[in-house]
Amino acid sequence: MRRKAGQPLPRPAAPPKIAKPWSLRSSGNLKILELDAFKKLTWLIHGFSTVPGGVSELGGEKVLNLSFTDWDSPENVLANRKKFQTALGAPKFPLIALKQIHSAVIWPFIAAPKEPCKGDASLTKTPGLLLGVQTADCVPILLVDPKKRAVAAVHAGWRGTLARILEKTVGELHAHFNSNPSDLLAAIGPSIGSCCYEVGAELVIQFSSQFADAADYFDEPRSGEEPNPLQWLNMMPPGHQPPPKNVRLDLPKANRSQLLAAGLREKNIFSSGLCTACHPSLFFSYRKQGPRSGRLLSAIARKL
């Protein structure tokens, strides 16, 4: 909507509150989101990037765009990646960033590939390999096995979530490294929240065909006076109200449910609770910004 002459500029959203066990670390002019449980592991490097501090220009501001997008130059992206990796303490590590295709394709790595691989999750036990997933609303999840010293990075949009990519990644950690799911730690990073993620109601049917608790992932946009959400699913004709055109999907909750189903202990799952669409000063959001959105990078590695 165009602002009328004399109308005050909209007030920027208040910065999100970063609560324990999460913290926001400053490194130069970068800000990196970290999980306390991961920081206690002296052999581990990890971090979730944020918007400030890069060399790319977007909307008149310098931002840390970490993916090759149409609006940004490759030189800027490479410079941003160098800054981010240096801040993580992994400036010389090869960055393994997959060509993400919203799938359940998972790659185990013992060495850096010569060409980018298509898929949406990666795992390794090899020190010095930096696994990364790029997001601008989808859910980034970092997994750690403290006993086997194995790590994984997962990109879960609604398609990957529906295809159980996170549950399958836990299975791959067990298959390749004999990881016990009950030992794993999981960090669910910033993503679009149910407050802002409106999707077509047909997704309720798709998820319900795959997950017994799927109704818990959805809610109807309501004014507060209506009955229980998704009541239309349980009502029988004749005379029931038609289903809504749109519902709100809680992707972090859906992925948390997958982790529990895969055998992780509830106390070992840590969700940031940060919505990318609500906090554009700190996170990129494709829903909020459109094609000129940048990309965040969530990265993890074993130290050399």
∠ CA 166-24-192, nearest 5°, is 45
User: Distance between CA atoms of 187 and 181, rounded to whole angstroms?
Assistant: 14
Contacts of 2 (CB under 8 A, 6+ apart): none
User: Distance between CA atoms of 178 and 168, rounded to whole angstroms?
Assistant: 14
Q: What would the pLDDT profile of 175-221 be if each residue is shown by its tens digit?
A: 999 999 999 999 999 999 999 999 999 999 999 999 999 999 999 76
Closest CA to 51 of 37, 39, 67, 71: 67
User: Distance between CA atoms of 77 and 54, rounded to whole angstroms?
Assistant: 9
Higher-pLDDT residue of 222, 91: 91
Contacts of 119 (CB under 8 A, 6+ apart): 98, 99, 100, 101, 103, 105, 106, 107
Average pLDDT value for residue range 265-286: 97
User: Distance between CA atoms of 217 and 208, rounded to whole angstroms?
Assistant: 10
| Residue 116 and residue 136 share a domain | yes
| Residue 275 and residue 177 share a domain | yes
Q: What would the pLDDT profile of 93-144 be if each residue is shown by its tens digit?
A: 999 999 999 999 999 999 999 999 999 999 999 999 999 999 999 999 999 9
Q: Are 221 and 174 in contact (CB under 8 A)?
A: no
Number of separate domains in the chain: 2
Residue 15 domain-assigned (yes or no):
no
Q: Are 29 and 287 in contact (CB under 8 A)?
A: no
Phi, psi of 279 (to 5 degrees): -130, 70
pLDDT-derived band at 59 (thresholds 50, 70, 90) equals: confident
Q: Are 14 and 35 in contact (CB under 8 A)?
A: no
User: Distance between CA atoms of 147 and 156, rounded to whole angstroms?
Assistant: 25
Which tokens hold the place of 239? 């005379």
Q: Is the pLDDT of residue 238 over 80?
A: no
Residue 264 domain-assigned (yes or no):
no
Residue 118 domain-assigned (yes or no):
yes
Q: What would the pLDDT profile of 4-52 be if each residue is shown by its tens digit?
A: 444 443 445 667 889 999 999 999 999 999 999 999 999 999 999 999 9
Residue 251 domain-assigned (yes or no):
no
Average pLDDT value for residue range 292-298: 96
Q: pTM of the entire structure?
A: 0.90
Which tokens hold the place of 224? 């507060």
| Residue 207 and residue 124 share a domain | no
What CATH number does the domain containing 129 carry?
Answer: 3.60.140.10
Residue 245's pLDDT is 75
User: Distance between CA atoms of 45 and 35, rounded to whole angstroms?
Assistant: 11
Range of the domain at 225: 198-246
Q: Helix axis angle, 165-177 relative to 251-262, nearest 10°?
A: 30
